[in-house]
Amino acid sequence: MPGRTRQLEDATLTIRPANEVSWADLRTVLSSTAPAHCQCQRYKLLPKECVVSLSSDVRADRFRTQTEPGHADAESTTGLVAYLDDEPVGWCAVEPRTSYVGLVRGGRVAWTGRQEDRHDDSVWAVTCFFTRPGFRRRGISRALTVAAVRYARERGARAVEGYPLTTGGAVADELHVGLASTFVAAGFREVSRPSNRRAVVRVDF
């Protein structure tokens, strides 16, 4: 496909809230093995639930409900979708931190060594990125990060956090939490290092 060989400067990149795009486009972005398995539900699981305890159809149904225009939380949506020209190519999950019930309940990476009010809904979180194969290494994740900061700020957030890896490689591809360097390039600063390979980064407004 011609669009897959072009750099960002040769094409039009647009980013839209997930509740303003079609379900078909969302499915196109999250069609690879790991994203299709999770459906961005990892941090939204209820107590006693786990990804393997829910069928892929249930996870997909939840994701579809969360991204519908009429969803109760549609003003905050569940994420942003990147388009290269008119083709959906990337995803970024961003919401008030309290929307990620699993993150609030546990999430050792987010809370180790920090004194934070876990129930402060004015702090937003960027928890997941995915760029489709064939469109990677073109700055799409960075553009999504910048857009997530702007999106959260416009909706009243006082801060935005991320929980990225400090190094790349196979683990980064598996976890989809982003790289610290991507966040730093978008204006985040490191506020915690809960492990050798994970950091907490943040923008305060």
Q: What are the structure tokens assigned to 169, written together? A: 């490689």
* pLDDT value at 122 more than 90: yes
**Residues of the domain holding 147:** 2-204
Q: What is the CATH classification number for the domain harbouring 118?
A: 3.40.630.30
Nearest to 202 by CA among 146, 160, 142, 149: 160
pLDDT digit string (tens) for 10-45? 568 999 999 999 999 999 998 876 777 888 888 888
User: pLDDT confidence of 73, banded at 50, 70, 90?
Assistant: low
- What pTM was computed for the model? 0.86
- H/E element holding 104? helix 101-105
What total of structural domains would you count in the chain? 1
Give the mean model confidence (pLDDT) for residues 112-135: 92
Q: How many CB atoms lie within 10 A of CB 26?
A: 23
